[in-house]
Amino acid sequence: MSRLLNIDLPQADVERQCAEHNVSVSVIEPLPGGGTHLVCVRPEGAEEMRQLFSEKLIAGIVQRYPFYRARGPW
């Protein structure tokens, strides 16, 4: 079961719903084309959000912002 969801709602709305349902978030970020990329800590939380946002889920592959990793001695 995937912990990942792409949701056609603003990040603030998704964060609020996760907090109201006590679903722990691992990663949350806005999507360039609109919507929110959400990764829940537990699969059960993701399933609960999947049911809650069933009408707002984005199907398929979405474009995300590039990730910047600072160079370090490691």
pLDDT band at 13; cut points 50, 70, 90: very high
Say what the pTM is: 0.87
Alpha helices, DSSP H, located in 1-74: 11-20, 43-52
Q: What is the pLDDT of residue 68?
A: 62
User: Which amino acid belongs to residue 12?
Assistant: A
Q: Averaged over 25-29, what is the pLDDT?
A: 94
- Residue of higher predicted confidence among 68 and 52: 52
pLDDT for residue 49 is more than 80: yes
Instruction: Supply the mean pLDDT for the chain.
Output: 93
Mark residue 40 as left, alpha or beta (left: phi above 0; alpha: psi -120 to 50; beta: remaining).
beta
Query: Which residues have CB under 8 Å from 34's CB, separation 6+?
Result: 8
Structure tokens at 19: 């907090």
